[in-house]
A and B are shown apart, each in its own frame.
Chain A
Amino acid sequence: MPGAGAGATDSRPVSRIVLGHLLRVLLVAAVLAASETAAGPPAGTLRLCADPDNLPFSSATGPERGFYVDVGTLVAARLGLTVDVVWWRSFYGSRAVRNTLLADACDAYVGLPHDAGYMDRSVSVSRAFLDVGYAIMAPASLPFARLEDLKPHRVAVEFRTPPQSLLATKEGFSAITFRSAQDAVEALGRREVDAAFVWGPVAGYLNRTKLAGAYRIVPVAGEGMQWRIGIGVRKGDDALRRRIDEALAQLDPQIKRAAEHYGFPLATAVDLSAAPPAAPATAAPAPAPMATADAADAVAVGRAVFNQHCSHCHSPNAHSPEPTRDLRRLRSRYGERMTAVFYETVTEGRTAKGMPPWKEILKQDDLSRVLRFLESVQSSP
């Protein structure tokens, strides 16, 4: 779990490393610019680390280079840089960040979890640019509104995943375990199973490329099911991270198009454990807009602001496992004083506990939206 110090150090030093990095980029740019006659955009390189064999996310052999490489290329273009992909084969992601990004083999790693607990002593992750997670993939002929609706059916799950754990800990499900999402989806294609509860991007990609889009894919909400992903840089490269943040903020439509190209399910995740929601009965396409794009909704904007500025210590979506940082307890803790305590704490900070004052950083409008978001997630007493 992140220590109190982790959040504090994040906002502190713009270190020499950053300056070193900028210097390097500028030098490269200067050298390249000098060698070119035209006064084009500053040329330079953003070294991007990626797995050579990990479609739909990245591939060294093409023709598709994968979503992460596409996103990295979009960001680099926005920054006036060209992408140099440094390929590093990884297995369960083990050691990959340590051996690449942290060894200065590259500048950025696309697809790291936007989560306060993720390598927060060594890696700094940009704003989240996409929600990815587990999803249920089934033919339109198998309607479901709740998880319970899948009980009579054979449901493929992946080894070592939350869906496997979820179905194993509930009575009455017929889960069939596969080593990978690909194996599970292929079994679905062969009708050896009736549905697959697997990693959504892989399901969507295979649905698009191998199964003619014949299946409906519904992202599922719940603990451990959905993840926000960003672009990681070395801790200390905060200037680069801020530039990436700015670029990402302007690239939402392009990123969404890239995600759609790879067939990622982009609909808002559905809570299947609750009472039946409006059944999403229609077939595949028509993905709902990404949550962050819904600017009209103050709660959604508040959530986005929260996840960008507050989640580092208070966890994405305020789902903190640490009671003292769990802002879903504000109401039960402070009752009618909740609003007052919120404004006082956020504007003035609680520096002794590692909470910085935000009055110079967040606009009043944003604060009120964050409050609206927090009000929407208060736990029942």
Chain B
Amino acid sequence: MQRYARSFVVAFAVSVVLAVTAHAQQGWPVYGGDPGNTRYSPLTQITPGNVKNLKVAWVLQLGSLRSQESTPLVIGDTLYVTSSHGPKNVFAVDAKTGVVRWRYSPEVPAGIDQYACCDVNNRGVAYANGRVFVGRLDGALVALDAATGKEVWKTQVIDHTQGSVITSPPTLAKNLVVTGFGGGEYGARGYIVAYDQADGREVWRFYTVPGPGEPGNETWKGDSWKFGGAVAWAIGSYDPALNLIYYGTSNPGPWNAAVRGNDSSNYGQFTNLFSSSTVALDADTGKLAWYYQSTPHDAWDYDGVNENVLADVEINGQKTPVLFKADRNGFFYVLNRKTGQLISAKLFATANWTSGMDMATGRPIEVPEKRPRLNFRAKDVCPSAIGNKNWMPMSYSPQTGLVYMPTLNICMDMNLAQVDYKRGVFYLGAEFELGKWGPGGHLGEVIAWDPVKQQKVWGNTDDLPYIGGITTTAGGLLFHGDIHGWFKALDAKTGQTLWKFMAGSGISAAPITYTVDGKQYVAVVSGRTFAIPPFFGKMGEQMVAASPEGGALFVFELPSP
């Protein structure tokens, strides 16, 4: 099978490996394991043969409850991890013992959770040159001294009282620290902004909604571009060789598409660029290199924020720099990451709003009765507004050549709300029913996907949604958690569960693996989500009932021989 042999580890991942193996240390330097977000570790000590012996090495209580989404970093022998709610805490701990070296607990304004659309999450920090960078719910980005946890600088990215919060770690490129923010529902005009790592000075800013006179502004009706959303609230990727930064962007605002265009599957010019897209930016200037829009004139809340995973694979006999994206809208996209050219796109889960991809235009072929419109309720639309895949990250293993995705099987009834905010009078909901069971009765599935053949290799279904993020290793293993609190190790080839551990509270966050002093550890944060259940009625009640609130980092090791 060519999938084992013909895949290539991206160049920077190789260099990271070479740099650290000299010290017998393999850290976890960045949220996605590498700047290309493969979440693939070359570590091999833990194998399908011995994984059943994993046991807890230490536990860190994070000091906050619910919606833990943090990926820890390991730099040298220090592990950095955040809690939810602000973050309430950033910890630097001894990666072997869990002993706390410092704790950063910023003052976050009271009532901050009013401004976060989808609970008080934080997904972790970024690290470079002795600095730890933290994006906060209050719209601030801070640089901490990695040795002491003291603030070195702080800059205000966005006014959180507009409903814009920062939940994801920034992206690092050369001397820059780059971030977006949330709030696509609340009238933000999205931008991605770069600061100098040294002093927090703004270097460039790219508006994800073009202003008057800029190409793309004509895709917005009237002056709707002013509050057009398209925010980049999730994780960026960076390719140092091409010097390009990749971000996914959210849905356009407002939800009511009649304001942004013609509220129709025949949307004409009103595609609402660059919402629900991937944008590739020159890291030095912030200039747009290319864009690809996955859901033109979105009406479903199909954010295109899902992480872009960078890999070099063989396409038609040619080694090609690609990016993979498992979009909220149900398509698994393979793009040439140098040019933005669409190579292939296939549906990876139940999606009925589209009948497939028009490869000539690069646009999904819509099923008009599945497009929610003003005063038209589209029924049994799949996927629901949270998509076939949400923020929980996938992994690409160059060893197996497969992508491993935490997917969702949920449908919805929806029409576009005309009425929303009336100062002093409360929002009248009931415009949609987001939580309808998808076909088959399961709500989640871990899918192993061949990205070149664009087909499923195996799948493990789950009764409830929100399977946690996924990490794979050169040991042939796949790690992920679920909302019940199970943390599992699977055989990456077959999907067979080889080991599992009850963490006590649901797991959405993605695991990591690292070595210190030559010993391999696996770590994951537990703390059941509350981001989605409030929107999901009965399904949400089941999600909440699946496990209690929590907030702890579990670190596992093999027993010493």
Interface residues of A (CB under 8 A from B): 1, 54, 56-58, 67-68, 88-97, 111-113, 115, 117-118, 132, 158-162, 164-165, 168-169, 175-177, 179-181, 199, 201-202, 223-224, 227, 229
Contacts and interface: CB of A to CB of B under 8 A. Distances in A.
Instruction: State the main secondary structure of chain B at its contact with A.
Output: loop
A165 B418 contact: yes
A17 to B, nearest CB: 21
A1 B377 CA distance: 13
B538 to A, nearest CB: 12
Nearest to B160: A91
Given A113-B428, A168-B259, A177-B226, A159 B187 contact: yes
Given A91-B163, A92-B186, A176-B223, A68 B418 contact: no
Nearest to B255: A160
Contact of A111 (B163, B256, B424, B534): B424
Contacts of B254: 159-160, 164
A106 to B, nearest CB: 15
Given A95-B113, A175-B222, A175-B223, A111 B258 contact: no
Contact of A97 (B110, B424, B426, B430): B426
Chain A CB count within 10 A is highest, among B115, B222, B424, B429, for B424
Give 9 closest A-B pairs by Cβ, nearest first.
A57-B424, A93-B426, A91-B114, A89-B111, A160-B420, A160-B254, A168-B259, A224-B419, A159-B227
A118 B420 contact: no
B224 interface: yes
Given A164-B259, A177-B227, A132 B428 contact: no
A68 B424 contact: yes
A266 to B, nearest CB: 15
A111 B426 contact: yes
Given A95-B114, A96-B426, 14 more contacts: A56-B424, A57-B424, A89-B111, A96-B114, A112-B425, A117-B428, A132-B425, A165-B374, A168-B224, A169-B258, A179-B162, A199-B424, A224-B418, A224-B419
Contacts of A177: 222-224, 226-227
B430 to A, nearest CB: 5
28 contacts: A1-B430, A57-B424, A88-B111, A89-B111, A92-B421, A93-B426, A95-B114, A96-B426, A111-B424, A111-B425, A115-B428, A118-B428, A132-B424, A132-B425, A159-B226, A159-B227, A160-B254, A160-B420, A161-B419, A161-B422, A162-B419, A168-B222, A168-B259, A177-B227, A179-B227, A180-B423, A223-B418, A229-B425
A162 B416 CA distance: 12
Chain A CB count within 10 A is highest, among B258, B425, B534, for B425
B284 to A, nearest CB: 33
A1 B428 CA distance: 10
Interface in B102-118: 110-111, 113-115
Given A113-B428, A117-B430, A168-B258, A202 B418 contact: no
A138 B423 CA distance: 20
Interface of B: 110-111, 113-115, 161-163, 186-187, 221-224, 226-227, 253-254, 256, 258-259, 263, 374, 418-430, 534
A58 B256 CA distance: 29
Contacts of A181: 423
B543 to A, nearest CB: 16
A227 B425 contact: yes
Contacts of A168: 221-222, 224, 258-259
Contacts of B223: 175-177
A162 B226 CA distance: 17
Given A161-B422, A162-B419, A94 B427 contact: yes
A13 to B, nearest CB: 23
Nearest to A123: B426
B111 A92 contact: no
A195 B91 CA distance: 53
Contacts of B426: 93, 96-97, 111-113, 118
A158 B427 CA distance: 15
A113 B425 CA distance: 6
A55 to B, nearest CB: 9
Given A160-B187, A177-B222, A199 B111 contact: no
A91 B115 contact: yes
Nearest to B188: A179
Contacts of A94: 114, 427
Nearest to A87: B111
Chain B CB count within 10 A is highest, among A115, A158, A168, A179, for A168
A165 B427 contact: no
Contacts of A93: 425-427
A105 B162 CA distance: 26
Given A117-B428, A169-B374, A179-B162, A161 B222 contact: no
A123 to B, nearest CB: 10
Contact of A160 (B113, B161, B256, B424): B256
Contacts of B224: 168, 177
Contacts of A90: 114
B266 to A, nearest CB: 16
A179 B263 CA distance: 22
Given A1-B430, A159-B187, A179-B187, A57 B227 contact: no
Contacts of B429: 117
Given A92-B163, A159-B227, A199 B423 contact: yes
A95 B534 CA distance: 9
B298 to A, nearest CB: 16
B55 to A, nearest CB: 40
Contacts of B256: 160, 165
A244 B536 CA distance: 33
Given A176-B223, A177-B223, A202 B114 contact: no
A161 B110 contact: no
Contact of A54 (B111, B113, B423): B423
Nearest to A120: B430
Nearest to A89: B111
Contacts of A160: 187, 227, 253-254, 256, 420-421
A96 B534 CA distance: 13
Nearest to A165: B418
B142 to A, nearest CB: 23
A202 B421 CA distance: 13
B117 to A, nearest CB: 8
A168 B227 CA distance: 14
A111 B424 CA distance: 7
A115 B263 CA distance: 28
A57 B111 CA distance: 19
B222 A92 contact: no
A97 B111 CA distance: 14
A217 B534 CA distance: 38
A227 B94 CA distance: 58
Contacts of B534: 95
A111 B427 CA distance: 11
A308 to B, nearest CB: 19
A162 B423 contact: no
A160 B229 CA distance: 12
Contacts of B114: 89-91, 94-96
A209 to B, nearest CB: 15
Contact of B424 (A118, A159, A169, A201): A201
Contacts of B425: 93, 111-113, 132, 227, 229
Nearest to A52: B111
Given A177-B222, A199-B423, A162 B418 contact: yes
A118 B263 CA distance: 27
A159 B424 CA distance: 16
A97 B428 CA distance: 12
Contact of B259 (A165, A179, A227): A165
Contacts of A112: 425-426
A229 B424 CA distance: 10
Nearest to A178: B226
Nearest to B261: A168
Contacts of B113: 95
A92 B423 CA distance: 7
